């Protein structure tokens, strides 16, 4: 019965709810794109932008919201390449080149903090000259500074630092970067669909026909036809390949990170030793991220973190910043690096951080399908350029890649920001401008101007106004409060949604376009659960006090569980 | 962010406590300024919340100007965030790049002005006359000082000069009295009463003319560098006395709070914390004597009902209200706590024209209490609280030490 029922549902949905249109001849016509990209991570959005800019008809599908995998569950570090200067100079060279490009094209998502490499007295002194040489050979400017300078720039550094260098590391916001790539692609006709999971790869006579996707919110099924299918699913690339009956070796390698409530550092601070766990601090907006670890896991969906992992990171991190434990942890989070495993390759930190492009037409006889896997966030643009070059060759498109020259999004003009300051809360204008971009920013400013009540903050910790939350809540791509969170930073500060969960649920119910937005209680609970997931492993000290207040508010005062026994 | 701020951010104790904020909003619900004015965005936002966001751009939180440094937020905070001190640090940072008004200069530098006045023959008389005339002609108003208020008049002679005329019974047990600007210049009788009380308890009182203003008026108007100079001088003096085993005692609660607590919160130097252990408020010191059974309790009967307004800056020192207990031991004396929150004056805050209305609104509850309590005398340890009580409560208050002195 169940098979019959599924078939019934499948056809029913195709007919009544699918996105297909009736063509003039009376045939069902499916949605079509020349290229379909699977995966809304850094690589996927990079390809979407690159191809769209070259005039290719391209559509991206992502099973969750954008950058839900490794591309946001990471340090937020735009590598200078210093990290790879000894072990992998090719990667180091790629990093410094891409670092310079992203600083130029991504002014609204890159914060040019600069980086510092510090060697502690416990670190191998022989590594330092190797590293200095490695940087020089890779074209990375590593400027030695005195300890006095180092402590002035980073007053909290451990007094066990014995040498320090400045490098051009920077911080990059993965959420903003991805959305800005999508915004850029949209200007050139690129399309994207989030919450669409690929459930089948359609092929005929060894040629790609398209994909079947399932709307993960409504369960609707639809088919999208394409000539070329790009598997950029990161940790899930093996699963997508399997749908096409192919094999791609991807080893999810989990990295756990800790977010602290303050900017403990002003620079990215790296330990000057052989790359290891917990040795990089990144000042990421209002917070600091410490990480990471490296652990092979079977399932990329596993983003769990444990108290042991947190303890491990703290005990390493406090070597660089001795008073680290005095600082409030906000949460722990984890993501999986999709390490490409060519047959017989190394794993974990030994595995290459390089990337691979597989043309399944050549290798497996499935024409039109390609996989891109591995690599680093910092080099996402280069990866996108390389595979787009191959795609364009197949499509006979002659347009060259322009992603390195054109800014991702236009910047909000200085004058407009200055003018807007009187409507924004203090310290709120510039960040809102980089999050929103010129068009949305001017709409939000107009709203703040004409409705002074919308200057109220929905999120007091991250300084987000009601007008901005409404603007993003109205977007067609906002299906959950979490989608609004990733674009505005609501709920990502000190109180971890304690105060804004309630408020944002109300805003979303009022402004959200998706009918699911009306389920305020469900939305709010889902939002809070997401926050609590990251808080559980750091439930000590003040974080514990914070969560007790949250529990008192939501479970006692608001009675959100309706009195059900656990 | 400037480099000084960067260093401050990483170093000042108050900055570190900002990280302890749970966003619980207790501070907002107990802030008297927020209750009186919608213009102040409140301690949590202006203090710890904005502190996290300062990295993003050079900006000014206009409403920071509304914080009166009454420290109600610090007392309400269950996590030990030094919210008001954070605000004072940020205010100082603001004035590193913005000019001070003439008014702030005047309100912050009472000590400097008083020194000039005292150098002239009959300086105090002329200065008082000048202030009356100035008020009549609206000169203060045009400077931004609340024209409704009288500036505190200079006493005909300062405490330090009166002290020279007091003959004391010498004793092995000694304390150094820290008068502070207000008692020294405007209300020397409080100091004289203190000396008499200490004599009755077998102590000889010393003064140290090398002390200067504690710096409280400088801190609240954003002259932090000057305040640091004062702190260094005063802390060195206190430590000098500590070496000799002689404690420093103050009758002004804002002075004692600054010497004991705020120096450390603002500047975070080890010596400041060490000096703090040698400073006492007058009644805190007397309570210690009482605990050891050494307080002279041979009181005369006074037959007086007292209404006690406990200053915010006394509450912030966390030693309870020993004045109420000790005065309660005097036969015939009944002490009632006003329990009416902040008086609204907060040092020089209530003197600012643009804050006058807020100041009076905050004081309403206390004024009402004074009216209904109908006590024989209103008492308060803080000089500027007494000015507010006089102005808004229309009574002549005194320092609790003056009552105690009468009982011996």
Taking only the tens place, the pLDDT of each residue in B372-391 is 999 999 999 999 999 999 99
Residue in this structure with the two tokens 């390698």, named with its chain if needed: A253
Report CB contact under 8 Å: B52, A546. Answer: no
Average pLDDT, chain B: 93
For the segment A332-336, the average pLDDT, to the nearest whole number, is 93
* DSSP, res B49: I
- Overall domain count for chain A: 3
- The reported pLDDT for the residue numbered A241 is 96
Check whether residue A157 and residue A188 sit in a common domain: no
A429 contact residues in B (CB cutoff 8 A): 57, 59
Domain of A276, CATH number, reads: 3.30.9.10
The residues, any chain, with a CB within 8 Å of residue A3's CB and separated by 6 or more, are none
Query: The dihedral of CA A143, A147, A149, A155: what is its sign?
Result: positive
Indicate whether B304 and B391 sit together in one domain: yes
Across the interface, whether the CB atoms of A494 and B6 are under 8 A apart is answered: no
Domain assignment present for B30: yes
Q: How large is the average pLDDT for residues B212-239?
A: 97
- Indicate whether B258 and B352 sit together in one domain: no
Pairing of strands A28-29, A21-22: antiparallel
pLDDT of A171 higher than 50: yes
Q: What is the pLDDT of residue B135?
A: 79
Distance (Å) from the alpha carbon of B25 to chain A's nearest alpha carbon: 10
Cα–Cα distance between B178 and B214 in angstroms, integer?
9
Residues B345 and B272 in one domain: no
Residues A127 and A242 in one domain: no
The minimum CA-CA distance between A487 and chain B, rounded to whole Å, is 17
In a domain, A79, yes or no: no
With bands split at pLDDT 50, 70 and 90, how would you rate the model's confidence at A395? very high
Distance of CA A392 to the CA centre of its chain: 26
Q: What band does B235 get if pLDDT is binned at 50, 70 and 90?
A: very high
Regarding whether B340 and B247 lie in a shared domain, the answer is: no
Pick the residue of B1, B47, B52 with the most A CBs within 10 A to test the interface with A by mutation: B52
For residues A35 and A54, membership in a common domain is answered with yes
- Count of CB atoms situated within 10 Å of the CB of A15: 10
CATH number (domain holding residue B321)? 3.40.50
Structural domains of chain B, count: 4
Q: What's the mean pLDDT in B200-217?
A: 97
Closest residue to A542, CB basis, from B20, B45, B50 = B20
Instruction: Tell me the per-residue pLDDT of B109-152, one tens digit each, with 9 for 90 and over.
Output: 998 888 888 888 888 888 888 888 877 777 788 889 998 998 89
- Strands A268-271 and A280-284 turn out to be antiparallel
Q: What is the Cα–Cα distance from B381 to B401, expressed in whole angstroms?
A: 8
**CA separation, residue B20 to residues A327, A399, B77 (Å):** 8, 55, 10
* A522 domain-assigned: yes
Helix (H, G, I), strand (E, B) or coil at A465: strand
Residue pair B2/A152 in contact (Cβ under 8 Å)? The answer is no
Flag whether residue A197 sits within 8 Å of chain B, measured between CB atoms: no
Question: What pLDDT, on the 0 to 100 scale, is given for residue B18?
Answer: 92
Q: Is residue A424 part of a domain?
A: no
* CA dihedral over A24, A25, A27, A31, signed as positive or negative: negative
> What is the Cα–Cα distance from A402 to A405, expressed in whole angstroms?
6
The 3 state secondary structure assigned to A91-105 is HHHHHHHHHHHHHHH
Interface contact A493-B18, CB threshold 8 A: no
Are residues B320 and B352 both part of a single domain?
yes
Neighbours of A510 (CB within 10 A): 13
Task: Give the residue on B whose Cα is nearest the Cα of A546.
Answer: B22
Q: Do A429 and B57 touch (CB under 8 A)?
A: yes
Report the pLDDT value the prediction gives residue A22, as an integer from 0 to 100: 44
Q: B19 and A427: CB-CB below 8 Å?
A: no
Is 80 exceeded by the pLDDT of residue B319? yes
Q: Show the tokens assigned to B372.
A: 């209904």
Which residues lie closer than 8 Å to B41 by C-beta, 6 or more apart?
A425, B61, B63
Residues of chain A contacting B41 with CB distance shorter than 8 Å: 425
d(CA A493, CA A475): 23
Question: Which value, in Å, is the radius of gyration of the alpha carbons in chain A?
Answer: 24
A545 at B interface, C-beta within 8 A: yes
Establish if B47 belongs to a structural domain. yes
Residues B90 and B114 in one domain: no
**Residue of chain B nearest A261, judged by CA positions:** B19
Q: Is A491 in the B-facing interface, judged by CB distances under 8 Å?
A: no
Domain boundary among B256, B288, B320: B288
Distance from CA of B268 to the nearest CA of A (A): 14
Calculated CA dihedral for residues A208, A212, A216, A218, nearest 10 degrees: 150
- Mean pLDDT to the nearest integer, B151-161: 93
Please give the torsion angle defined by the CA atoms of residues B386, B389, B394 and B395, in that order, rounded to the nearest 10 degrees.
Answer: -50
Check pLDDT > 90 for residue B2. Answer: no
pLDDT higher than 70, residue A432? yes
State the Cα–Cα distance between residues B36 and B359, nearest whole angstrom. 8
Convert the pLDDT of each residue in B12-63 to its tens digit.
677 889 999 999 999 999 999 999 999 999 999 999 999 999 999 999 999 9
- Phi-psi label, residue A255: left if phi above 0, alpha if psi -120 to 50, beta otherwise: beta
H helices, E strands: number in chain A: 17, 26
Beta-carbon contacts of residue A496 (< 8 Å; ≥ 6 apart): A330, A331, A531, A534, A535, A546, A550
| Claim to verify: residue A160 and residue A187 sit in the same structural domain | no
Contacts of residue A498 in chain B, CB cutoff 8 Å? Answer: 23
* pLDDT computed for residue A16 by the predictor: 41
How much is the pLDDT for B201? Answer: 98
pLDDT at A11 over 80: no
Q: Burial of A539 by CB count in 10 Å (0-12 exposed, 13-18 middle, 19+ buried)?
A: middle
- Chain A hits for B52, CB-CB cut-off 8 Å, are 261-263, 286, 461, 493-494
- Which of A158, A429, A491, A494 best tests the B interface by mutation, with the highest count of B CBs <10 A? A494
Q: pLDDT tens digits for A196-243? A: 999 999 999 999 999 999 999 999 999 999 999 999 999 999 999 999
Q: Is the pLDDT of residue B299 over 50?
A: yes
Domain co-membership, A535 together with A470 = yes
Average pLDDT over residues B264-292: 96
pLDDT at A346 over 80: no
Which whole number is the average pLDDT over A323-337? 93
Contact B382, B397 (CB under 8 A): no
* Domain co-membership, A138 together with A187: no
Beta strands in A126-279 (DSSP E): 143-145, 161-167, 170-172, 191-193, 196-204, 207-215, 221-225, 228-231, 250-260, 268-271
Question: In this predicted structure, what is the pLDDT of residue B151?
Answer: 87
Q: Is the pLDDT of residue A25 over 70?
A: no
Cβ <8 Å between A428 and B53 = yes
B182, pLDDT greater than 50: yes
Structural domain includes residue B109:
yes
Percentage helix, strand, coil, to 5, in chain A?
Answer: 40, 20, 35
pLDDT at residue B84 greater than cutoff 90: yes
- Give the residue-averaged pLDDT of A470-492: 96
The answer on pLDDT for B9 being more than 60 is: no
**Which among B7, B56, B62 has the least Cβ separation from residue A427?**
B56
A458 touches chain B (CB under 8 A): no
Phi-psi region of A189 (alpha: psi -120 to 50; beta: other; left: phi over 0): left
Indicate which CATH number applies to the domain containing A195. Answer: 3.50.50.60
Which of B11, B22, B25 is the closest to A546 by Cβ? B22
Give which of A402, A355, A488 is closest to A43, Cα–Cα.
Answer: A355
Measure the CA angle with vertex A261, ends B26 and B75; round to 5°: 25
Residue A198 lies in a domain: yes
pLDDT > 80? residue B7: no
* Contact criterion met (CB < 8 Å) for A427 and B21: no
Partner A contacted by B38 (CB < 8 A): no
Contact status of B324 with chain A (Cβ, < 8 Å): no
Residues A547 and A468 in one domain: yes
User: Is B170 found in the same domain as B284?
Assistant: yes
**pLDDT interval class at A427 (50, 70, 90):** very high
Distance CA A37, CA A130 (A): 41
Q: Does residue B153 lie in a domain region?
A: no
pLDDT at A387: 97
Q: Which residues contact B93 (CB under 8 A, 6 or more apart)?
A: B2, B4, B5, B8
Cβ pairs A/B, distance under 8 A: 87
Query: Are A259 and A144 within one domain?
Result: yes
Q: Are residues A230 and A263 in the same domain?
A: no
Same domain, B78 and B35: yes
Distance, in angstroms, between A316 CA and closest chain B CA?
21
pLDDT above 70: residue A527? yes
Q: Which of A312, A49, A79 is nearest to A182 (CA)?
A: A49
With a cut of 70, say whether residue A565 has pLDDT above it.
Answer: no
A271 and A333 assigned to the same domain: yes
Nearest CA among B394, B383, B91 for reference residue B213: B383
Of B401, B397, B365, the C-alpha closest to B384 is B397
| Domain region containing B367 | 297-407
Residue B214's SS3 state is coil
Q: Which residues of A touch B62 (CB under 8 A)?
A: 426
Which pLDDT score, from 0 to 100, does residue B1 have?
A: 44
Q: Do B52 and A261 touch (CB under 8 A)?
A: yes
Task: Retrieve residue B287's tokens.
Answer: 């309570």
Q: What is the mean pLDDT of residues A101-124?
A: 97
Identify whether A74 is part of a domain: no
CB-based contact (8 Å) between A460 and chain B? yes
pLDDT above 90: residue B212: yes
* B150 found inside a domain: no
Residue A162 reports pLDDT greater than 80: yes
pLDDT for A345 equals 60
Query: Do A151 and A289 sit in the same domain of this protein?
Result: yes
pLDDT at site A19 = 43
Is the domain of A150 the same as that of A194?
Answer: no
Residue A13 in domain: no
Instruction: Judge if B90 and B174 occupy the same domain.
Output: no
Nearest CA distance, A490 vs chain B (angstrom): 13
Give residues 256 to 315 of A whose Cβ lies within 8 Å of B.
261-263, 266, 283, 285-286
Flag whether B218 is in a domain: yes
Mean pLDDT across A461-486: 97
Q: Which residues of B touch A431 (CB under 8 A)?
A: 53, 56-57
Residue A562's pLDDT is: 80
- The closest alpha carbon to A483, from A445, A434, A521, A530, belongs to A530
Q: Looking at the predicted structure, is the pLDDT value of residue A344 above 80?
A: no
Taking the CA of residue A479 and the nearest CA in chain B, the distance in Å comes to: 28
Q: Which two tokens stand for residue B261?
A: 């607590």
Q: Please check whether residue A254 is in contact with residue A297, taking contact to mean a CB–CB distance below 8 angstroms.
A: yes
User: What is the H or E stretch that residue B204 is in?
Assistant: strand B204-207
Say what the pLDDT of residue A29 is. Answer: 61
The helix, strand and coil proportions of chain B, stated in percent and rounded to the nearest 5, come to: 60, 10, 35
Based on the fold, state whether residues B266 and B375 are members of the same structural domain.
no
In this structure, is residue B359 part of a structural domain?
A: yes
Same domain, B9 and B28: yes
CB contact under 8 A, A463 and B50: yes
Our CA-based measurement puts residue A518 at a distance from the nearest CA of chain B, in whole angstroms, of 28
Contact B26, B78 (CB under 8 A): yes
Residue B272 lies in a domain: yes
CA distances from residue A167 to B100, B374, B388 in whole angstroms, order as listed: 40, 72, 58
- Tell whether B18 is within 8 A of chain A (Cβ): yes
Can you tell me the mean pLDDT for B354-363?
Answer: 97
Instruction: Report the residue count for chain B.
Output: 408
Q: Do B171 and B269 belong to one domain?
A: yes
Return d(Cα A77, Cα A267) in angstroms, integer: 11
Name which of A385, A407, A401 is nearest A53 in CA terms: A401
Instruction: Pick A286's closest partner by Cβ from B6, B16, B53.
Output: B53
What is the DSSP-derived secondary structure letter of residue B1? -
Beta bridge partners, A118, equal A164, A271
Give chain B positions within 8 Å (CB) of A327: 19
For chain A, the average pLDDT equals: 92
The torsion angle over the Cα atoms of residues A96, A99, A101 and A104, rounded to 10 degrees, is -140
CATH assignment of the domain containing B60: 1.10.1060.10
- Best interface-test mutation with A: which of B59, B67, B80, B91 has the largest number of A CBs within 10 A? B59
Q: Give residue A260's domain range.
A: 99-170+253-338
| Highest averaged pLDDT of the listed ranges A19-33, A536-550, B330-344 | B330-344
């Amino acid at each position: 019965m169940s098979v019959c029922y599924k078939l019934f549902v499948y056809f029913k949905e195709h007919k009544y709810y699918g996105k297909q249109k009736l063509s003039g001849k009376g045939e069902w016509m499916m949605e079509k794109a020349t290229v379909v990209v699977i995966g809304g991570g850094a690589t996927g959005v990079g390809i979407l932008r690159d191809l769209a800019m070259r005039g290719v008809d391209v559509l991206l599908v992502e099973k969750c919201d954008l950058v839900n995998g490794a591309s946001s569950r990471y340090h937020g570090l735009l590598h200078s390449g210093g990290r790879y200067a000894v072990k992998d100079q090719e990667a180091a060279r790629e990093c410094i080149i891409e670092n310079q490009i992203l600083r130029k094209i991504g002014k609204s998502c890159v914060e040019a903090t600069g980086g510092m490499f510090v060697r502690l007295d416990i670190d191998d002194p022989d590594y330092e000259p190797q590293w200095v040489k490695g940087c020089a050979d890779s074209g990375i400017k590593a400027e030695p500074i005195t300890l006095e300078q180092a402590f002035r720039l980073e007053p909290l550094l451990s007094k066990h630092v014995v040498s320090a260098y400045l490098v051009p590391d920077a911080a990059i916001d993965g959420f903003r970067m991805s959305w800005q790539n999508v915004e850029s692609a949209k200007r050139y006709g690129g399309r994207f669909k989030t919450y669409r999971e690929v459930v089948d790869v359609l092929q005929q006579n060894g040629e790609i026909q398209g994909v079947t996707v399932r709307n993960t919110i409504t369960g609707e099924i639809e088919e999208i036809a394409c000539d070329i299918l790009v598997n950029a699913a990161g940790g899930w690339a093996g699963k997508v390949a399997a749908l096409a009956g192919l094999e791609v070796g991807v080893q999810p390698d989990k990295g756990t990170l800790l977010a602290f409530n303050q900017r403990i550092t002003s620079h990215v601070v790296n330990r000057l030793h052989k790359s290891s766990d917990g040795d990089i601090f990144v000042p990421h907006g209002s917070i600091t991220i410490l990480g990471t670890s490296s652990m092979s896991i079977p399932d990329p969906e596993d983003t769990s973190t444990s108290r042991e992992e947190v303890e491990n990171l703290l005990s390493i991190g406090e070597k660089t910043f001795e008073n680290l434990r005095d600082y409030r942890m906000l949460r722990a989070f984890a993501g999986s690096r999709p390490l490409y495993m060519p047959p017989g390759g190394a794993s974990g930190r030994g595995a290459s951080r390089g990337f691979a492009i597989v043309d399944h037409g050549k290798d497996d006889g499935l024409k039109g399908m390609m996989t891109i896997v591995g690599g680093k966030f910092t080099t996402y643009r280069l990866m996108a350029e390389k595979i787009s070059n191959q795609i364009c060759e197949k499509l006979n498109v002659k347009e060259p890649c322009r992603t390195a020259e054109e800014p991702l999004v236009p910047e909000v003009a200085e004058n407009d920001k200055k003018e807007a300051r009187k409507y924004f809360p203090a310290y709120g204008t510039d960040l809102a401008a980089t999050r929103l971009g010129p068009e949305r920013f001017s709409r939000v400013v107009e709203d703040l101007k004409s409705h002074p009540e919308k200057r109220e903050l929905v999120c007091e910790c991250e300084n987000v106004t009601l007008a901005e939350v409404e603007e993003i809540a109205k977007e067609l791509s906002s299906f959950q409060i979490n989608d609004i969170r990733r674009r505005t930073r609501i709920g990502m500060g000190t109180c971890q949604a304690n105060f804004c969960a309630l408020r944002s649920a109300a805003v979303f119910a009022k402004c959200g376009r998706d009918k699911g937005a009306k389920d305020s209680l469900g939305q709010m609970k889902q939002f809070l659960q997401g926050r609590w997931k990251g808080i559980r492993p750091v439930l000590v000290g003040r974080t514990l006090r914070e969560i007790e207040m949250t529990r008192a508010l939501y479970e006692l005062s608001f009675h959100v569980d309706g009195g059900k026994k656990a | 962010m400037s480099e000084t701020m960067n260093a401050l951010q990483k170093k000042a104790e108050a900055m570190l406590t900002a990280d302890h904020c749970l966003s619980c909003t207790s501070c907002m619900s107990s802030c008297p300024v927020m209750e009186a004015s919608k213009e102040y965005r409140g301690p949590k936002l202006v203090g710890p919340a904005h502190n996290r966001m300062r990295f993003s751009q050079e900006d000014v939180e206009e409403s920071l100007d509304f914080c009166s440094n009454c420290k109600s937020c610090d007392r309400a905070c269950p996590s030990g965030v030094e919210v008001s001190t954070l605000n004072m640090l940020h205010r100082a940072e603001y004035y590193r790049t913005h000019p001070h008004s003439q008014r702030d200069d005047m309100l912050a530098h009472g000590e400097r002005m008083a020194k000039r006045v005292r150098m002239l023959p009959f300086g105090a008389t002329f200065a008082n006359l000048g202030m009356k005339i100035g008020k009549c002609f609206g000169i203060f108003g045009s400077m931004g000082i609340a024209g409704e208020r009288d500036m505190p008049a200079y006493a005909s002679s300062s405490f330090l000069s009166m002290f020279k005329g007091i003959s004391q019974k010498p004793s092995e047990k000694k304390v150094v009295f820290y008068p502070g600007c207000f008692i020294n210049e405007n209300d020397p009788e409080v100091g004289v009463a203190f000396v008499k009380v200490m004599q009755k308890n077998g102590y000889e009182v010393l003064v140290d003319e090398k002390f200067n203003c504690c710096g409280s008026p400088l801190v609240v108007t954003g002259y932090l560098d000057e305040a640091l100079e004062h702190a260094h001088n005063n802390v060195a003096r206190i430590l000098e006395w500590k070496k000799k085993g002689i404690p420093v005692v103050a009758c002004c609660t804002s002075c004692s709070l600054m010497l004991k607590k705020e120096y450390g919160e603002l500047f975070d130097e080890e010596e400041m914390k060490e000096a703090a252990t040698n400073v006492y408020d007058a009644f805190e010191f007397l309570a210690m004597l009482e605990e050891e059974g050494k307080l002279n309790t041979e009181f005369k009967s006074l037959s007086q009902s007292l209404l006690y307004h406990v200053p915010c800056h006394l509450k912030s020192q966390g030693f309870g209200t020993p004045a109420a207990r000790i005065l309660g031991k005097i036969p015939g004396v009944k002490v009632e706590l006003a329990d009416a929150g902040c008086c609204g004056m907060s040092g020089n805050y209530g003197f600012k024209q643009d804050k006058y209305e807020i100041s009076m609104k905050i004081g309403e509850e206390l004024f009402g209490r004074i009216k209904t309590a109908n006590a024989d005398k209103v008492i308060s340890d803080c000089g500027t609280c007494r000015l507010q009580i006089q102005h808004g409560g229309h009574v002549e208050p005194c320092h609790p030490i003056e009552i105690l002195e009468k009982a011996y």
